[in-house]
Structure 1
Amino acid sequence: MPTFVVTYHYADDSDERRAQHRPAHVAFLRRLHDAGVLYMSGPLDAEPPRAVLVLEDTDRTALQERMSEDPFFVNELIATREIAEWKVFFDPRRSDR
């Protein structure tokens, strides 16, 4: 299954609204993890504020549809979202890499 890196660039002045929607966002991420799609995620220590998620999904279209259900996306807390396929060379979780 392809691996993807998703980068969220948060909307300007969205800190308070992100805090408000964070419980639903975390529940969404937990569902992705439980489904075997999300490997890891978290905010970057950078300006402007953004976050990175590493996921595996069947293809880019399926991932885009899935990520469009994120409460942060639904509530327009993400100004831009970048999705890039990552050609993983080494992954200690998998013996085939």
Structure 2
Amino acid sequence: MPVFAVTYHYGPDTDTRMEHRPAHRQWQAEMNEAGTILASGPLDDDPQPGGLLILSAADHAEVEGHLAADPYASLGVIEKTDIREWTPVFGPFAQG
């Protein structure tokens, strides 16, 4: 199954994001348990706070569907989302 690298670029409303971080982390944990999120975590704040998620999905549309269920999506704390298909050659996510 294809692997996708998703980059979240967070907006300036840090208070709302931090308030809802437990729900966001719970969503990530459930997606990880299901085998959809392979890895995730925050990026440093330079130049802008964000997060990186590595997902396994059939296609770009499926990734978008999963991301729509992230509690952060409905709160407006994500300023921009980049979704790119990624072909890992080495490491735990490499495929054949």
TM-score (norm 2): 0.91
- Aligned counterparts of 1:24 and 1:11: Cα–Cα separation in 2: 18
> Secondary structure of 1:92's match?
coil
Instruction: State how 1:2-81 maps to structure 2 within 5 Å.
Output: 2-12=2-12, 14-45=13-44, 46-81=46-81
The CA distance in 1 between the partners of 2:92 and 2:19, in whole Å, is: 36
Q: Which SS does the other structure have where 1:5 is aligned?
A: strand
CA distance in 2, matches of 1:19, 1:44: 15
Percent of aligned pairs with the same residue? 35
Name the CA distance, whole Å, in 1 between partners of 2:59 and 2:93.
20
The 3-state SS of whatever aligns with 1:16 is helix
Counterparts of 1:67 and 1:18, CA distance in 2:
16
Counterpart in 2 of 1:87? 87
Q: Distance in 2 between matches of 1:16 and 1:79?
A: 15
- Looking at structure 1, the residues matched to 35 and 2 of structure 2 have their Cα atoms a distance apart, in angstroms, of 13
Q: After TM superposition, which residue ranges in structure 1, 4 or more long, deviate above 6 angstroms?
A: none
RMSD over aligned Cα, in angstroms? Answer: 1.3
Q: 1:89 Cα deviation (Å)?
A: 0.9
- In structure 2, runs of 5+ residues without a counterpart are none
Q: How many residues are paired up?
A: 95
Given residue 54 of structure 1, which amino acid in structure 2 is its aligned partner? I
Once the 2 structures are TM-superposed, how far is the Cα of residue 74 of structure 1 from its aligned partner? 1.1
Q: Which runs of 5+ in 1 are unaligned?
A: none
